[in-house]
Amino acid sequence: MTKLSLPHQLICLISLLPMLAFAQSKDPCEAPGNTIDARACAQEKFSAKDRQLNAAYQAVLKQLDSYQDNGPATKKRTFKSKIKAIGRRNI
């Protein structure tokens, strides 16, 4: 069994994230009664996806610790990328 390189692992992980949005069997927010319900539902969905993304990110960071040669440098770049993504998300 061959071990995938770090860039390949990151690409695989990132490519699977959009499928999480379609994995739900039923959308509880399909017919919100009013704007408040719709916003509450959207916030709930966002929070759930954010938790999933953070779990995936933590898993990647744990894997980076096992790479002795370039793990720390890659971990630093990954962290900087996350900070940039959060900045873009919060605009």
Q: What angle do CA 29, 17, 34 make, to 5 degrees?
A: 15
**pTM value?**
0.49
Is residue 21 over pLDDT 90? no
Amino acid at 61: L
pLDDT in tens, 46-63: 999 999 988 988 888 888
Q: Which element (helix H / strand E) includes 19? A: helix 6-22
Cα separations in angstroms, 56 against 31, 34, 51: 30, 33, 9
Which carries the bigger pLDDT value, residue 3 or residue 49?
Answer: 49
Averaged confidence pLDDT in the chain: 76
Mean pLDDT for the stretch of residues 17-40: 70
56 versus 10: the higher-pLDDT residue is 56
- In terms of phi and psi (left: phi > 0; alpha: psi -120 to 50; beta: otherwise), the region of 34 is beta
Residues 40, 34: Cα–Cα separation, whole Å: 10
Find out whether 22 and 65 touch, Cβ atoms under 8 Å.
no
